[in-house]
Amino acid sequence: MTRWPFVLILACVNCWAGASDRYYPDIKVTSPDRQLRLDAKSPDNNGGKHAPFAAGFEYTLTDLSSGKVRWTHKQRMKPSGFGDSLAPDGEGSPMRAFVDNAGHTVLYVAGEELIVLAPQDGRKLAQVPLLDKLCDAETGNYVGHTTAGPDWNRWSLWRFSEAASLDKQTRRVFCVNSYWQHHVVVDVDTGDLLASGAVTNAADESTRAYLKQAVDTQRIWAMEMLSLVANGKARTLDGTEQGGVTAAVQIAGACKIAEAVPLLQALESGGTDGGPSTAGWSSNNLRQDIHLALRRLNVQPRTGPCMTLYEMQPGNDFAFPDPEDAIPSRAQPAERVKTVDQVTAGITTRRLVQLIGGPDYEHFDSTLRNRSVDYDIDTDPPFTLRVGLKDGKVQDVKRISAPVWQDGYARERGHDSHPNILGR
């Protein structure tokens, strides 16, 4: 299952059999000025225990200066009582919640929807399906599917903002910015969906104006976030936003923000290793994202590795490797070009690492019946070396003539096979 599991709409009770349990813990968020608190509580989570498929949530907005409850809103359930599978007017159980200083409240709920609640009394102003606005190509290219539901928003940015209409009227809006630059903009005072899509595909000038502002404000946000983190100042995400440094790094690369390069380089040596997996490797996800952003900005990464490989015993495919079996990597990205031609089928995993260091990405490829890792080689022209590993040896070596990082959002997708593979 991928790193950010999210919830899938299920049409009937029988569909639960093949799905993972989904957990919806109680949520508590405060407004940026710490004057308002939103609580989302389910009776299924009584006593701090998280029950699978918790539902029946009650939302309470409290004024912390007076201790008075401004409003409550109860989750509207479909007749079957499940919080995931929605009927008309039904509301999924919450996965995230956002509240600003005025009390505007937005819920991200199971079923991949936004619910907008009025700041004065908690009335539901709108229920906006996020994925329904995608064309078939977007759904196929950018939305992964797991037993825990659609996987699409690891690098997404969620936040309140201001936006001006064509007649220069300022609106309070909530924006969801996806990694492939599909933006959803909702007016939180009226619940109106102002825009959904990419700037290049806007249907009219009004939609284009809102989408352009969503792009501009995300660029500003990304630079602010990167500046704070690069200078050692922790950025606390308050109740108005959800994103973090991974979203800022991805935005910098995808939007070609050249002034972000020194900030990305300052963060390149950071990040943490996630620990070994049964695949025989571990990943520094932040460094992977930074290297991808730098390459998109035509800058060669300086610090590696992004992944650590481990000695794996033959026939022991599903065991976690011992951390002491990590293979030390000394070759940096710039040094790979000197020895990459020595990587051939049959050499050991240890020899692979000695030659070109740790890899950049893992890759699921249904055409290769083994574990695959990718090395991005910064020659002129650049290419990606895909290496299949099995039983502690290199089984398969493929050169991808156009490097994967140049192929749209293939790196973010990760799970797709890359068609442009040339045998050596």
Name the residue among 253, 120, 239 with its Cα closest to residue 189: 120
Using H for helix, E for strand and C for coil, what is the string for the chain?
Answer: CCCCCCCCCCCCHHHHHHCCCCECCCEEEECCCCCEEEEEECHHHHHHCCCECCCCCEEEEEECCCCEEEEEEECCCCCCCCCCCCCCCCCCCEEEEEECCCCCEEEEECCCEEEEECCCCCCEEEEEECCCCCCHHHHHHHCEEECCEEECCCCCEEEEEEEECCCCCEEEEEEEECCCCCEEEEECCCCCEEEEECHHHCCCHHHHHHHHHHHHHHHHHHHHHHHHHHCCCCCCCCCCEECCHHHHHHHHHHCCCHHHHHHHHHHCCCCCCCCCCCCCEEECHHHHHHHHHHHHCCCCCCCCCCEEEECCCCCCCCCCCCHHHECCCCCCHHHHHHHHHHCCCCCEHHHHHHHHCCCCEEECCCCCCCEEEEEEECCCCCEEEEEEEECCEEEEEEEECCCHHHCCCHHHHCCCCCCCEEEC
Buried b (16+ CB within 10 A) or exposed e, 298-310: ebebebbbbbbbb
> What is the spatial distance between Cα 196 and Cα 214, in angstroms, rounded to a whole number?
10
Give the pLDDT score at 175.
96
**CA–CA gap between residue 276 and residue 409 (Å, rounded):** 26
Q: What is the pLDDT of residue 238?
A: 53
pLDDT of 367 reads 56
Q: What is the pLDDT of residue 86?
A: 46
Domains delineated in the chain: 1-130+143-149 (2.40.10.480), 153-267 (no CATH), 272-423 (no CATH)
Give this prediction's pTM.
Answer: 0.84
Three-state SS string across 63-97, please? Answer: ECCCCEEEEEEECCCCCCCCCCCCCCCCCCCEEEE
- Residue 173 has a pLDDT of 97
For residue 340, how many other CB atoms are within 10 A of its CB? 18
| pLDDT average per 10 residues of sequence, the chain (424 residues) | 34 44 92 96 84 92 97 83 53 95 97 96 95 82 79 89 92 95 96 93 92 95 92 63 82 96 93 81 92 96 93 71 87 92 96 96 68 92 94 92 92 58 36
